[in-house]
Amino acid sequence: MEETNRQRKIAGVLQQDLVDVLQRAAQDGMRGVIISVSKVMVTSDLGVAKVYLSIFPSEKREEIIKGVISNTSSIRYELARRTRNQLRRMPELLFFGDDSLDYIEEIDKSLKGEDLNPIKNPEILPRRKKK
């Protein structure tokens, strides 16, 4: 089902405010970490917002996602305070890690020939397991 204009507008508002909240938190506690909100998708009933976070360096992604999930209530409160004149009800926030940058980096390595070649070395391919 296609997103409505209202869903897109709410997602945009949430994305802007989430960037401010998360980057301020990253400046306070985590030096050298960049957090960006790559996408926000709001359900048709406007009750749930799925938030995809892109984190650099990617080695800290799981740790930071767990920290954000544990602080969801305070993040939601801060967002509700910022958007009180725009939204009647704050949607529930679900956070996910966005690994698209890692995927792009792997493709770039493959195109440059920097990774292992499975044609020359078939040992690196995963083996099929019999059922």
CA angle, corner 93, sides to 77 and 35, nearest 5?
90
The answer to whether residue 104 is domain-embedded is no
Q: What's the total number of domains in the chain?
A: 1
Q: What CATH number does residue 45 fall under?
A: 3.30.300.20
Q: Is residue 126 part of a domain?
A: no
Per residue in 48-91, pLDDT (tens digit) is: 999 999 888 888 888 889 988 998 999 999 999 998 888 888 99
Q: Is 43 inside a domain boundary?
A: yes
Question: What average pLDDT is seen over the chain?
Answer: 84
Q: Which SS3 state, helix, strand or coil, does residue 26 take?
A: helix
131 found inside a domain: no
pLDDT of 130 above 70: no
Name the residue range of residue 84's domain: 5-99
Instruction: Please report whether residue 27 resides in a domain.
Output: yes
Give the residue with greater pLDDT, 128 vs 46: 46
Quote the pLDDT of residue 14: 93
Flag the least confident range among 16-20, 71-75, 97-101.
97-101
Residue 21, domain member (yes or no) = yes
Q: Say if 35 falls within a structural domain.
A: yes
Band (pLDDT 50/70/90 cuts) for residue 96 is very high
Question: Who wins on pLDDT, 1 or 88?
Answer: 88
Is the confidence at residue 97, as pLDDT, over 70? yes
Give domain status of residue 114, yes or no: no
Compute the distance between CA of residue 108 and CA of residue 114 in angstroms, rounded to an integer: 9
Query: What's the pTM?
Result: 0.77
Q: What pLDDT is stored for residue 129 in this prediction? A: 63
Q: What is the pLDDT of residue 50?
A: 95
